[in-house]
Amino acid sequence: MNDPLTFARPEIRALEAYAHAAWQPGFARLHANEAPWRGLEDRSIAGLNRYPEPHPDALAAQLAALYGVAPANALACRGSDEAIDLLVRAFCAAGRDAVLVCPPTFGMYAVAARIQGAAVIAVPLVRERGYALDLPAIEAHIAAGNVKLVFLCSPNNPTGNLMAAEDMRRIVAAARERALIVIDEAYLEFAAEDSLARLIAAEPHIVVLRTLSKAHGLAGARIGTLLADGRIVQLLRKVIPPYAIAQPCIEAAQAALAQASQLVTRERIAAIVAERERLRAALAPLPCVERVWPSAANFLLVEFDDAARALARVQRAQLLVRGFSDRPGLGRALRITVGSPEQNDRLARSLQC
């Protein structure tokens, strides 16, 4: 497929983007109706009395370097949630198009689709094969013609497993000239796997989502990155609001991407992976635990003989974990984020009978 915008809504392709005020950082700013003075408690570098860069190109270039793509292939967003929303709005017409999701998985894919009025086609993961993809069912729905976006999360949330590389390649091949494959790699830093962003040049219908929320400790800053063919990035720049990322968040992200900060991040990722395996070893033998699923993320999916009772025990220890009593197939499971060594020890003690 030469043009990945084949699937975009025609009205979005024809859209004229909002014309924001000119961006000339060295000039005195009398053109954007801003205050000339900083607030008394403003400790930012650029000043919160000024609008941030309309589309933070310098940050996007740093993110592109982090993820190994050209700057033209990266779009900085307010978390992966905004990237998901942009894709659905740009590629799915209400009442006509559909997205395909593979539950149990991240819920925002379906929420964004339903807000847009797109249909949601669910092809459940195959629990008996370690929550693997149901390839024949996915391929059949892609071939049917109305699926515009296929969302795949790897490592998957909440199951923690990586999708098999050969399965992902097979779906990418099935979607050529039919749909975009959106691969959410929010937890990839915790896995021994390369990003599929390396395939974008050869497969321009691949879109990859990354985030600074998990491994880089910036969940509160809401910095996500969409990696895609440059034509997709330019299309979505029409849709994303100008000044979307707040100045303190831009500055926090740039600080986190400095070389010294990245060295610390790598050390912390290694510590989380080690704690993940230590926590798994502590939980697996407990009488109340039925199964600890393998994880390539920063959390564990744990099945209990009585999930409600386990949840109550953990809460008595003043710890919060995620229950799934309302999710099909996950009623006996809790998703436990890997914390500090002290927190992990406290959690394991709370579940001892």
Give the start-to-end residue ranges of the domains of the chain: 4-257, 274-350
Within 10 Å of residue 236's Cβ, how many Cβ atoms? 23
Q: At 276, list the tokens.
A: 């993940």
Q: At 202, list the tokens.
A: 């050869």
Kindly calculate the radius of gyration of the chain based on its CA atoms and give it in whole angstroms: 22
Answer for the pair 166, 173: CB distance below 8 angstroms, yes or no. Answer: no
Q: Model confidence at 1, in pLDDT bands (50, 70, 90)?
A: low
Task: Tell me the pLDDT tens digit for each residue of 54-110.
Answer: 899 999 999 999 999 999 999 999 999 999 999 999 999 999 999 999 999 999 999
Answer for the pair 299, 347: CB distance below 8 angstroms, yes or no. Answer: no
Task: Tell me the pLDDT tens digit for each residue of 120-174.
Answer: 999 999 999 999 999 999 999 999 989 999 999 999 999 999 999 999 999 999 9
Q: At 41, list the tokens.
A: 């408690």
What distance in Å separates the CA atoms of residue 323 and residue 321, rounded to the nearest whole number? 7
Which DSSP string do the residues of 176-203 spell out, in sequence order?
Answer: TTT-EEEEE-TTGGGSS---GGGGTTT-
Task: Specify the CATH superfamily of domain 274-350.
Answer: Aspartate Aminotransferase, domain 1 (3.90.1150.10)
Q: Which class for 113: exposed (0-12), middle (13-18), buried (19 or more C-beta within 10 A)?
A: buried
pTM: 0.95
Answer for the pair 215, 269: CB distance below 8 angstroms, yes or no. Answer: yes
Strands across the sheet with 119-122, in order?
74-77, 224-227, 206-211, 180-184, 147-153, 98-101, 119-122
Between the alpha carbon of residue 221 and those of residues 113, 151, 248, the distances in Å are 25, 24, 8
Q: At 97, list the tokens.
A: 């198009």
Please, what is the end-to-end C-alpha distance for the chain in angstroms?
A: 58
Q: At 266, list the tokens.
A: 């790598």
Residue type, 174: A
Between the alpha carbon of residue 350 and those of residues 74, 92, 324, the distances in Å are 44, 46, 19
pLDDT of residue 23 exceeding 80, the answer is no
Task: Tell me the pLDDT tens digit for each residue of 262-316.
Answer: 999 999 999 999 999 999 999 999 999 999 999 999 999 999 999 999 999 999 9
Residue type, 345: D
pLDDT of residue 2 exceeding 80, the answer is no
Answer for the pair 334, 323: CB distance below 8 angstroms, yes or no. Answer: yes
Quick one: DSSP state of residue 241? P
Asked if the domains 4-257 and 274-350 are classified in one and the same CATH topology, the answer is: no
Residue type, 272: I
Quick one: DSSP state of residue 38? -
Q: At 210, list the tokens.
A: 């990354």
Least confident of 6-15, 25-34, 202-211: 25-34
Q: What is the CATH number of domain 4-257?
A: 3.40.640.10
State whether residue 352 is helix, strand or coil. coil
Task: Tell me the pLDDT tens digit for each residue of 109-124.
Answer: 999 999 999 999 999 9
- Please, what is the average pLDDT of the chain? 95
Share of the chain above pLDDT 90, in %: 87
Residue type, 93: A
Within 10 Å of residue 321's Cβ, how many Cβ atoms? 18
Q: At 23, list the tokens.
A: 């961006």
Quick one: DSSP state of residue 227? E
What distance in Å separates the CA atoms of residue 171 and residue 203, rounded to the nearest whole number? 12
Closest CA to 334 of 285, 271, 289, 282: 289
